[in-house]
Structure 1
């Protein structure tokens, strides 16, 4: 069964292109270390809630867009090995000075998840 790392961040809307470039550079490392795919999603139809919402979760400001991302791995063992390799690597693509995050990393939310159900799509 697969394993998923999920992420939510508040990215300054003006930094959209910088975010895409940062992700394009860094995400390729996850693929090289065993991820099946990496998906980066720019908020488009994200409602404000009365009690909780994505904006509140990452303390997004008016000039920021919520980004929802995930990394799909074949299994947790591959993910753990890939993350360990990445953290121990001196790969310049993961160097925060050479490829700085174009958002406040202190407000990034992330976690690892075990899928418990999956429905196949129509493929169309």
Structure 2
């Protein structure tokens, strides 16, 4: 059964090109280690909520945009092996040392696919 890692983060607007470059570098490594796809979405129509919202969840600042991302895998087993290999990769370790956003406000988790129509 397909498995997905999901992410939400706040990225400084001025870092959009840098963030895109960062993701293009790391996406190829994820795919080398079994990921089916790496999807990155830049905020377009994201409202502040009364009680909850993406901006609130990541404590978005005025100069930031929300990114919504996911990596799909064929299964959790492939993901577990692939994710370990990704984080052991020297290029990923270099990229992680200079992230173009505040990783303390990154929200992430792994999900089993319930419906895929």
What band does the TM-score fall into relative to the shorter chain? over 0.9
Aligned to 1:96: 95
Cα deviation for residue 24 of structure 1 reads 0.5
Q: Which runs of 5+ in 2 are unaligned?
A: none
Contact 1:3 1:75 (8 Å CA) reproduced: yes
Aligned to 1:56: 56
Q: Looking at CA atoms only, which structure, 1 or 2, has the larger radius of gyration?
A: 1
Contact 2:22 2:95 (8 Å CA) reproduced: no
Q: What's the secondary structure of 2:95's corresponding residue?
A: coil
TM-score (norm 1): 0.89
TM-score (norm 2): 0.95
The number of equivalent residue pairs is 117
Q: What's the secondary structure of 1:23's corresponding residue?
A: helix
Distance in 2 (alpha carbons) for counterparts of 1:94 and 1:17: 20
Aligned to 2:79: 79
Distance in 1 (alpha carbons) for counterparts of 2:92 and 2:113: 29
